[in-house]
């Protein structure tokens, strides 16, 4: 097996050693903050606020994927209407108590409801006994082999929190034409890792990034 290691290196893997760990129980939250009024001025200020919470949420152990929607088929009516807003799916490990997930999100949802009452907040929390239990339901069922053009940015805590008004406009432009992503990519394994030898070929910006935001010319499935 050949392996391209980055940084203009090339090697041949002759053996692999895996360290295994007990599978954790986990909670999965699927949440939508949406409106059928795709021109509502509330949409991207709310999106900007939600994404600004990712550094705090990531530091508390949350991980997941989210999409910023400017115009997307409504999952509640089979696509008969179009929605704009925020969709995400998030995981919290080492617990099966929904109260632990709600404790993180309730203040955020309260702020959204009070500030942008024309948006609908729809959260749903499910407990799983193991990662495999979660994966058997939530693995990617989309087709493979499609072509898409992707542009992306790595966003750190300062970028996400310093100017929510500017971010709202930036996210609006980024998601124009359909949707863009805001993947929560932080965590102790990213931030605190100590590579053998003192370094590796990973872009240093990944270590302090909380969000990998991407714009793609394709589709997503909710």
Judge whether 46 and 119 are in contact, CB under 8 Å. Answer: yes
pTM passes above 0.75: yes
Q: Residue 169: what pLDDT?
A: 97
pLDDT at 222 over 50: no
What is the pLDDT, as a whole number, of residue 217? Answer: 57
Sign of the CA dihedral 64, 149, 152, 3?
A: positive
Is the predicted pLDDT of residue 3 greater than 70, yes or no? no
Which of helix, strand or coil describes residue 76?
coil
Residue 138 pLDDT greater than 50, yes or no: yes
Does the pLDDT of residue 90 top 60, yes or no?
yes
Q: Are residues 175 and 51 in contact, defined by beta-carbon separation less than 8 angstroms?
A: no
Residue 95 · residue 26 · CB < 8 Å = yes
What's the pLDDT tens digit per position in 141-184? Answer: 877 776 777 788 999 999 999 999 999 999 999 999 888 999 99
CB count in 10 Å sphere of residue 211: 25
Question: Residue 207: its pLDDT value, please?
Answer: 86
Answer whether residue 63 shows pLDDT above 50: yes
Q: Is the Cβ–Cβ distance between 85 and 47 less than 8 Å?
A: yes
Nearest alpha carbon to residue 120 among 35, 48, 36? 35
Give the chain's domains with CATH numbers.
23-216 (3.40.462.20)
């Amino acid at each position: 097996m050949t392996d391209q290691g980055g940084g203009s290196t090339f090697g041949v893997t002759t053996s692999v050693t895996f360290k295994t760990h007990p599978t954790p129980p986990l909670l999965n939250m699927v949440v939508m903050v949406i409106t059928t009024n795709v021109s509502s001025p509330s949409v991207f200020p709310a999106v900007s606020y939600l994404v600004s919470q990712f550094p705090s949420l990531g530091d508390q152990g949350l991980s997941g994927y989210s999409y910023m929607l400017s115009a997307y088929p409504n999952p509640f009516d089979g696509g008969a209407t179009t929605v704009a807003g925020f969709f995400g799916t998030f995981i919290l490990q080492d617990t099966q108590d929904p109260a632990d997930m709600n404790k993180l999100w309730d203040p955020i949802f309260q702020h959204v409801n009070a500030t942008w009452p024309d948006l609908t907040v729809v959260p749903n929390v499910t407990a799983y006994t193991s990662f495999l239990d979660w994966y058997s339901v939530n693995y990617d069922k989309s087709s493979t082999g499609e072509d898409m053009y992707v542009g992306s940015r790595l966003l750190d805590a300062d970028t996400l929190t310093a100017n929510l008004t500017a971010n709202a406009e930036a996210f609006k432009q980024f998601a124009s034409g359909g949707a863009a992503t805001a993947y929560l990519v932080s965590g102790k394994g990213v931030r605190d890792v100590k590579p053998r030898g003192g370094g590796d070929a990973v872009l240093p910006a990944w270590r302090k990034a909380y969000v990998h935001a991407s714009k793609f010319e394709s589709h997503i499935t909710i």
